[in-house]
Structure 1
Amino acid sequence: MKYISTRGNAPAKTFTEILLGGLAPDGGLYLPESYPQVTRDELDGWRELSYADLAYEVLSKFATDIPADDLKAILRKTYTPEVYGNARSDSDTTQIAPLRVLEPGLCLLELSNGPTLAFKDMAMQLLGNLFEYALAKQHAELNILGATSGDTGSAAEYAMRGKRGIRVFMLSPDGKMSAFQRAQMYSLDDPNIHNIAVRGVFDDAQDLVKAVSNDLDFKARHRIGTVNSINWARVSAQIVYYFKAYLAATATSAQEVAFAVPSGNFGNICAGHIARMMGLPIGQLILATNENDVLDEFFRTGVYRPRGTKETYHTSSPSMDISKASNFERFMFDLVGRDGAKLRDFWSRVDAGGSIDIKGSAYWQALPEFRFASGSSTHADRLRTIRDTWTKYGVMIDTHTADGLKVGLEQRREDLPLICLETALPAKFEEAIREALDRAPERPPALEGIENLPQRVEVMDCNLGALKQYIATHTAG
């Protein structure tokens, strides 16, 4: 299996060759040359597998240059109940990513029982183990640069803390995350973890990461890699739980399902898109945004118009406060028939601050083939959905999951079971939960009082030179 750039001007590489990097040299994102296919007989044969063994069946189709025994060992080390089974006290702790049936035809896929209480742990813990494996093989070191709107940062830091040969430089928007999210990241005192709060919004932080990645000399000199969802290994790991959810929700592979996915950077739902392209019977992919509705606007109108800093709202589902979705480029590459020249044309407009309009084109005509629906949600919608879910099912959900459930129920096809992807536990957003339910969310005992711990963070203007200087200073020697 070789990987190519969405922009068509980079050499094809293997899984391990792109594992430690981020953007391709031409500024594009890596995707497989073609998507491996899964037959219905294969699907039915996977129904009784553990999560780790299912992950092997899926990921062995992508990581073809990692020996089978090594990949199996990494996956079995990663996906254990000890790591993923202790966050929500009313979960089925014998399973990883258990499917909770709210009512017939409506399910919640629990993805937030990992160490940082967010779905990002599902891929990030694996990424940490893959990095350690690859670096040991190469006798090398890696400096990870990432940006987070809330959950990616803590998931990455918890996965990489103490890992030999790895340093983490994580950018976040200053003052734009919940108190719990800030505490999870900034209270870590591991010497290989560096938190940088950027004066601005998430898109500013993400643009800095891309700018560093596009400086190929600096990137090589300082051994820069990434854990953002622009890293292919993260997306591929997320594909696994779509298969897990489907197998848990169906009796035979002749059935189709719908997924509702809260989305900011398009990474989570991009994994669902790829699972469908592989042959998973997904009849509908429902994309949910909050008030930052750039992606919903595209699927409704054909116009992709990233917003500026002043147009990005700070909301009660802050991990989705994103107005320039990195992984959307991967989907658009498929939509335009994997035409790198056309993708470069589109993204030259985006990178220059412009927009894309496909309305009326052949691409607009082809869009329904990809089975997307979309919608948006507001603060009032989130509170109402949290209250309704608690009252009707006795299940407490966070604000992002509420966005997904609200839009999923509005947009679902009635003939399909609906699976809503949980993105975080309510404990991470206590203020909104108190507003909705007049009670505090459950919190794992180990995380009680985390906001009171000392915090270590560098606050910085949105300045590429200052960021490079900070990285160079802290990677010297």
Structure 2
Amino acid sequence: MKYISTRGLSPALSFSEILLGGLAPDGGLYMPEAYPQFSAADLSAMRGMNYRDLAYTILSRLVDDIPAADLRDIVDRTYRAEVYAFARPGQNAEDITPTLELEQGLYLLSLSNGPTLAFKDMAMQLLGNLFEYVLAKKGETTNILGATSGDTGSAAEYAMRGKQGVNVFMLSPHQKMSRFQTAQMFSLQDENIHNIAVRGVFDDCQDIVKAVSNDHQFKANHKIGAVNSINWARVAAQVVYYFKGYFAVTSDNSQKVSFAVPSGNFGNVCAGHVARMMGLPVDKLVVATNENDVLDEFFRTGVYRPRGSANTYHTSSPSMDISKASNFERFVFDLVGRDGAKVRELWSKVDAGGAFDLNADGWFAKVADYGFVSGSSNHAHRMQTIKQTQAQYGVTIDTHTADGLKVALEHRSADTPMLVLETALPAKFEDAIVEALGHKPQRPASLEGLEQLPQRFEVMDADTDAIKAFIVAHIE
């Protein structure tokens, strides 16, 4: 299995060779040279598997340069019930991603039972163990630079804290995360964790990460690695729970399932696209955005028009406050027939602050072949959906999951199960839940008083050179 760049100008590399780096040298994102295929017989054999066996079966098709016994050990250590202990009452933590039936044909896929109460744990815990394994084999260290709109940062830091040979530098938009999200990150006192609050929005943070990654000399000299979903291993890990969710709500492989995915950076729903390309019987992939509806605009019109940091809204589903969706490039690569030159042409417009339109040359007409549909939500919709879900089903959901459920209901069909991907537990967004329901959401006892803990972070301008200097000063 080799991995190629979406922009077509980088050599094909193995999984371990791309694991630490993030962006390809040509600025593109890595994708499998060809998608491994799961046949109907394969799906039948996988149907009864537990999460660890399923993860190993899928990942072993995508990772062929780590010995099977070592990969098995990494997977088994990652997906233990005690790591995903925050399951709802009545759910079995051993399931790792249990499903919750709201009504016939409508489900939540619970992805938020990990240590930071967000779906990012599902991939980040694996990434932490993979990083440690590969670094130990090579006798190397790495300095991770990441950007977060709320959940990636804490998931990465909890996965990497105390890991040998790993330093983490995490950029977040200053005062634009929830109080819980902020405290989760900034209260960590581990010496290998460095939090930088950037004066700006998430897109500013993400642009700095990409600028550093594209400075090949600096990246090589200071061993800069990536944990954002530009890292292929993140997407690969997320593919697993699409298979798990499918098997949980179907009885045979002739059935199709739709997934509704709250979307900001397009990594989560991109994993659904990859699962579908590998043979999972997916009907619709429902892209749900908040007020930052650049992706919804594309899937409705064929025009991709990032708005820039000045026009990115700060909302009550802050992890989706993103205008430039990095992983969208992975889907467009497939959409345009894996033509790297075409992707370079399109993203040269995006990188220059512009837009692109895929109607003229007929590419947009092919979107339907991949099952994508979309919709958007706003604050009033979120509040109403949270209230309705509590009243109708006795279930409290967070604001991002509410965006997903609201849009899911617009695309639901009677004969196809719909799974809404739960992105976080409501405790992470207490103020919004109080506004919607009039009371605080329940939180795990171990996280009581989190916001009162001492916090350790630096506030800096959105200045790539200043961030580079900070990194150098804290690794040498």
TM over 0.5: yes
TM-superposed CA distance for 1:361, in Å, is 2.7
Q: Which residue of 1 aligns with 2:64?
A: 64
CA distance in 2, matches of 1:475, 1:90: 46
Give the conservation status (yes or no) of the 8 Å contact 2:80–2:94.
Answer: no
CA distance in 2, matches of 1:454, 1:87: 28
Give the conservation status (yes or no) of the 8 Å contact 2:105–2:414.
Answer: no
Give the aligned residue type for 2:427: A
CA distance in 1, matches of 2:223, 2:71: 24
> Alignment partner of 2:61: what SS?
coil
> Alignment partner of 2:11: what SS?
coil
TM-superposed CA distance for 1:436, in Å, is 0.6
CA distance in 2, matches of 1:309, 1:461: 14
TM-superposed CA distance for 1:242, in Å, is 0.1
TM-superposed CA distance for 1:48, in Å, is 1.7
Q: Which residue of 1 aligns with 2:441?
A: 441
Q: Which residue of 2 aligns with 1:228?
A: 228
* 1:121 and 2:121 correspond: yes
CA distance in 1, matches of 2:5, 2:430: 41
> Alignment partner of 2:195: what SS?
strand
CA distance in 2, matches of 1:133, 1:116: 22
Q: Which residue of 2 aligns with 1:73?
A: 73
Q: Which residue of 2 aligns with 1:459?
A: 459
Give the aligned residue type for 2:189: D
Q: Which residue of 1 aligns with 2:169?
A: 169
CA distance in 2, matches of 1:195, 1:338: 37
Q: Which residue of 1 aligns with 2:184?
A: 184
CA distance in 2, matches of 1:90, 1:405: 22
> Alignment partner of 2:100: what SS?
strand
CA distance in 2, matches of 1:37, 1:391: 42
Q: Which residue of 2 aligns with 1:403?
A: 403
Q: Which residue of 2 aligns with 1:11?
A: 11
CA distance in 2, matches of 1:67, 1:378: 47
> Alignment partner of 2:93: what SS?
coil
CA distance in 2, matches of 1:415, 1:214: 47
TM-superposed CA distance for 1:243, in Å, is 0.2
Q: Which structure 2 segments of 5+ residues have no match?
A: none
Give the conservation status (yes or no) of the 8 Å contact 1:3–1:15.
Answer: yes
Q: Which residue of 2 aligns with 1:156?
A: 156
Give the conservation status (yes or no) of the 8 Å contact 2:86–2:117.
Answer: no
Name the Cα RMSD after superposition.
0.8
Q: Which residue of 2 aligns with 1:429?
A: 429
TM-superposed CA distance for 1:90, in Å, is 4.4
Residue by residue over 1:337-392, the C-alpha shift from the partner in whole angstroms, topping out at 9 and shown as x without a partner, is 00000000000000000001112432012111011110000100001100111111
Q: Which structure 1 segments of 5+ residues have no match?
A: none
> Alignment partner of 2:131: what SS?
helix
> Alignment partner of 1:429: what SS?
helix
Residue by residue over 1:256-298, the C-alpha shift from the partner in whole angstroms, topping out at 9 and shown as x without a partner, is 0100000000000000001001110001000000000000000
**Count of aligned residue pairs for this structure pair:** 476
Give the aligned residue type for 2:121: D
> Alignment partner of 2:414: what SS?
coil
Give the conservation status (yes or no) of the 8 Å contact 1:149–1:177.
Answer: yes
After TM superposition, the structure 1 = structure 2 runs for residues 26-41 of structure 1, keeping only pairs within 5 Å, are 26-41=26-41
Residue by residue over 1:427-455, the C-alpha shift from the partner in whole angstroms, topping out at 9 and shown as x without a partner, is 00000000111111010011001000010
Give the aligned residue type for 1:116: T
Q: Which residue of 1 aligns with 2:340?
A: 340
Q: Which residue of 1 aligns with 2:314?
A: 314
Give the conservation status (yes or no) of the 8 Å contact 2:142–2:166.
Answer: yes
TM-superposed CA distance for 1:413, in Å, is 2.8
Give the aligned residue type for 1:187: S
Give the conservation status (yes or no) of the 8 Å contact 1:88–1:444.
Answer: no
> Alignment partner of 1:248: what SS?
helix
TM-superposed CA distance for 1:50, in Å, is 1.4
> Alignment partner of 1:44: what SS?
helix
TM-superposed CA distance for 1:85, in Å, is 2.4
